[in-house]
């Protein structure tokens, strides 16, 4: 069995991380507004090696990962004007681009997503936002901080499973094999982690209604 150590530093969710996050968000905005190359260098410096690590972790060959990382960073450069710091941290925006580009590359077609002009789109009974703000990745700065804190407070075994889910392997089955754990244990750690994160962010509870037989 391979020993899997989480290559992860979640910090403590403190104000230093807030400052760092804000700096990166500002850089992305500056790229969008003025094609600021110094700002791009800062973003690249922070994210290029992380994006490549994501691609490698998902099983991509090293040369392909380098090429695709560059393509992803070019998308960041070109599309930065559509980035809104009021809706997501730079890291979330770049993560979704990297994830989607990887799917494009592997499958030759795009990730299937909700279409926001779908006439069947349901807006929710407690929606007091306008349709536009509801349908974005909207997250307030204080929620970002809470999310960061909640993640840093997770027990190690949950952090490990979350990191592996997103950044290694291609299924929870893979993770179970690596950690030599039943798939059910991997899944329950994920559920516990997401529950703590939602509680930390004061969001509504999870699936709830699914009565699982164990």
Please identify which residue in 1, 2, 3, 120 interacts with another protein, judged by CB under 8 A: 120
d(CA 72, CA 92): 14
Of residues 145-174, which lie at the interface with another protein (CB under 8 A)? 147-148, 151, 162-163, 165-167, 170-174
CB of 66 to another protein, least distance (A): 6
Please identify which residue in 3, 82, 108, 180 interacts with another protein, judged by CB under 8 A: 108
Of residues 63-82, which lie at the interface with another protein (CB under 8 A)? 64, 66-71, 73-74, 77
Q: How far is CA 110 from CA 99, 103, 106, 107, 188, in A?
A: 11, 7, 10, 8, 30
d(CA 166, CA 202): 23
Which of 110, 107, 73 lies closest to 93, judged by CA? 73
Query: Residue 4 interacts with another protein (CB under 8 A)?
Result: no
d(CA 135, CA 132): 5
Please identify which residue in 103, 141, 157, 185 interacts with another protein, judged by CB under 8 A: 103
d(CA 154, CA 4): 18
Phi then psi for 136, rounded to 5 degrees? -115, -175
Which of 152, 182, 140 lies closest to 163, judged by CA? 152
Interface map 15-54 toward another protein (x if CB under 8 A): ------x---------------x--xx-xxxxxxxxxxxx
Please identify which residue in 22, 84, 96, 153 interacts with another protein, judged by CB under 8 A: 96
CB of 34 to another protein, least distance (A): 14
Please identify which residue in 56, 141, 178, 185 interacts with another protein, judged by CB under 8 A: 56
């Amino acid at each position: 069995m391979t020993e899997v150590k989480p290559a992860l530093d979640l910090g403590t969710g403190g104000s230093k991380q807030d400052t760092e996050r804000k700096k990166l968000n500002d850089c992305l905005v500056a790229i969008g507004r003025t094609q600021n190359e110094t700002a791009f260098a800062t973003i690249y410096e922070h994210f290029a090696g992380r994006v490549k690590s994501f691609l490698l972790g998902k099983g991509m060959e090293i040369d392909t990962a380098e090429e695709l990382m560059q393509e992803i960073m070019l998308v960041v450069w070109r599309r930065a004007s559509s980035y809104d710091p009021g809706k997501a941290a730079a890291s979330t925006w770049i993560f979704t681009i990297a994830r989607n580009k990887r799917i494009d590359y592997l499958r030759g077609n795009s990730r299937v997503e909700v279409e926001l002009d779908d006439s069947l789109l349901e807006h929710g009974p407690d929606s007091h936002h306008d349709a536009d703000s509801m349908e974005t990745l909207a997250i307030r700065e204080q929620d970002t901080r809470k999310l960061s804190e909640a993640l840093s407070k997770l027990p190690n075994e949950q952090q490990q499973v979350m990191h592996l889910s997103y950044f290694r392997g291609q299924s929870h089955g893979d993770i179970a094999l690596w950690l030599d754990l039943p798939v059910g244990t991997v899944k329950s750690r994920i559920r516990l982690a997401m529950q703590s994160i939602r509680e930390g962010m004061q969001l509504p509870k999870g699936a709830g209604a699914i009565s699982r037989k164990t």
